[in-house]
Amino acid sequence: MIILYDDRLIKREEANIDIEDRAYQFGDGIYEVIRVYHGIPFYLNEHLERFQKSADAIRLSLPYPMETLAQKLLDLARENQLEEGNLYLQLSRGTSPRSHAFPSDAKPLIIGYTQPDSRPLTALQNGVTAITDEDIRWLRCDIKSLNLLGAVLAKQKAVDHGAKEAILVRNGTVTEGSSTNIFMVKGQTLWTHPANHFILHGITRKITLQLAEYLGISVKLEPFSPSHLAEADEVFLTSTTMEVCPIVQIDGKAVGNGKPGPITRQLQKAFEKEIERVCQ
């Protein structure tokens, strides 16, 4: 496999990550996951804009211009003949003798690689199950930071319960999933948490909200409680890799009639059309 290492495309075996890389020791860095359909990255610019925002938020500068990075990612996908899958991109503050404060001498390191992966068609068709769990993450969930321990522990709890996702609850409100944004439908209204510091501003969330507006679905960007969620007619999650995916059971209890609902289906169809429009 060919990977992006700093500004070069090299073989994976040739990469050399130092034991004092700050991503490795402190999780001191940021990342992105970008979906590729038919060999074409989906909403690449939006992902790179968020990458820049995350970098700014942790006071980290990109080692070279964004336009160069965009071109390198296209080259990477092409070199690996990635038709369907993901591009993973990471920026570390670099390598320096271990000490918490920013090093003056470290050079930020970009790495990127590809993962072939097909669309999660069974999950999209049948829906997935979820549990609820306490949101123990830090207060800057809007930064796509490499510090993912809160998400890792929540996801593992879901897996331990035979579920696909953990829906996180902070101070009596549903924030998001461990690696997804959460939407619910009650009556004809779509609800999702507002884009503030408590959630990652998902690119798929944003696309879904645009599609909802286009389809004339009424939207409330307001926090809602777990009991509100338990009474929802429909619930779904969104993410780059899971797209718009129905949640049919939460904490062992069926959502609505236990089947993906009509508004979820409408948004899934619109999302598929968007993929075809952008990546044909």
Tokens, residue 112 = 């990127």
> Least Å distance between CB 32 and ligand PMP?
8
Question: What's the CA angle centered on 22, arms 17 and 27, to 5 degrees?
Answer: 110
Of 86, 92, 132, 179, which lies in the binding site for ligand PMP, with binding defined by CB under 6 A? 179
Q: Which residue is nearest to ligand PMP (CB)?
A: 202
Is residue 238 a contact point for ligand PMP (CB under 6 A)? yes
Question: Hey, CA dihedral for 24, 30, 36, 41, is it positive or negative?
Answer: negative
Tell me, yes or no, if 144 is annotated catalytic: yes
Check 144, 155, 157, 253 and give the catalytic one. 144
- Give the residue, chosen from 80, 129, 132, 239, that forms a contact with ligand PMP under the rule CB under 6 A: 239
Alpha-carbon span 220 to 112, nearest angstrom: 36
Q: Supply the minimum distance, in Å, between the C-beta of residue 48 and ligand PMP.
A: 12
Which window, 22-30, 64-72, 176-184, 214-222, contacts ligand PMP (CB under 6 A)?
Answer: 176-184
Q: What are the distances in angstroms from CA 61 to CA 55, 92, 279? A: 6, 10, 30
CA atoms within 13 A on the CB side of 56: 7
Nearest in space to 182 (alpha carbons), one of 128, 143, 136, 144: 128
> Which of 82/146 has CB closer to ligand PMP?
146
From 28, 165, 176, 234, residue interacting with ligand PMP (rule: CB under 6 A): 176
Binding mask 185-224 for ligand PMP (x = CB under 6 A): ---------------x-xxxx-------------------
Burial 177-189 (b: 16+ CB within 10 A, else e): bbbbbbbbbbeee
The residues assigned a catalytic role are: 144
Can you give the binding site for ligand PMP, defined by CB under 6 A? Answer: 33, 151, 176, 179-181, 200, 202-205, 238-240
